[in-house]
Amino acid sequence: MKLLIVYGTTEGQTRKICRFLRDEALKAGNKVDISDASDHPRSPDGYDAVIIGASVHQGKYQASVKHYLMQYVDKLNAMVSAFISVSLTAATKDEESWKELETITSEFLKKTSWKPTEVEQVAGALRYTQYDFLKKFIMRMIAKRSGGDTDTSHDHEYTDWEQVENLMERIIKQVEKSKSPKPVP
C-alpha cells in the first residue's frame, strides 16, 4: 500500500500521532509519505489511502487542513481515507462535551464535503510545560471542570496508542479489500 498522511497540529500531539501511524504502516511493509498541511502537502494522486489528522482548538480544526480538503475533496472521496480528530474531549466521558465534539466534526466534514471511510476521535495531550501563564491557567481550569489532570508541573498525554494502531490496521484491510479482484457475475 502507498499511504499519504497529512496533518495539522497546534501543540504537536497530532503530529506525534501521525508519525506513530507512519511508523506502524512502515512496519507493515507499506510506503508512506507524511507532511504538515501548512507545508504544501502532496496531492492524493497515486496513493492507495490518505489519512488526515487535525486537532480541535476553540471549536475549530486547522485552516490548513480545511484548505487541503477543499482542494482535493473529489479525489479523497473516491479512495480509502480516514480523518483523525484529536482533542482533549476524546479523553473524557462527559456526554455533553462528546455531543459538541461530534457536532464540530460533522460540521467540518459537511463544510468540506469530505466523506472519509473512517472517522476516529483520538484523545490528545495537555502540554502545560509549553503554555504561557494565561493559557496554562485556562487549560488547568478546563481540566479541573472535566476531571482532568491539573498538575501543571509536567505534561499529560491521553492518547490511546492501541486505538491508533487499530485504526492503521483497519485502513490496511480496507485498501487490501479495495484492491482484491471483484467476482464476475
DSSP string, 123-150: E-EE-GGGS-HHHHHHHHHHHHHHT---
- Is the pLDDT at 183 greater than 80, yes or no? no
Q: How far apart are CA 149 and CA 78, in angstroms?
A: 41
Q: What percent of the chain has pLDDT over 70?
A: 98
Can you say how many angstroms the Cα of residue 113 is from the centroid of all Cα atoms in its chain? 17
Tens-digit pLDDT profile for residues 20-45: 999 999 999 999 999 999 999 999 99
Residue 112, domain CATH: 3.40.50.360
Q: Which of 154, 158, 146, 157 is nearest to 130 (CA)?
A: 154
Residue 185: is its pLDDT beyond 70?
no
Count structural domains, the chain. 2
Q: Verify that 85 and 48 share a domain, yes or no.
A: yes
**142, 91: one domain:** no
Domain-located, residue 130 = yes
Whole domain around residue 150: which residue ranges? 126-157
Query: Is the pLDDT assigned to residue 5 strictly greater than 70?
Result: yes
* Stronger pLDDT, 121 or 182, i.e. the higher one: 121
pLDDT digits (tens, 9 = 90+) for 82-131: 999 999 888 888 788 899 999 999 999 999 999 999 999 999 987 888 88
| 66 belongs to a structural domain | yes
pTM confidence score: 0.89
Q: How confident is the model at residue 8 (pLDDT cuts 50, 70, 90)?
A: very high
- 139, 61: one domain: no
Q: What's the burial of 100, exposed, middle or buried (CB within 10 Å: 0-12/13-18/19+)? A: middle
Specify if 185 maps to a domain.
Answer: no
Q: Which three cell numbers stand for residue 59?
A: 471549536
Return the closest-CA partner of residue 33 out of 3, 13, 71, 68: 3
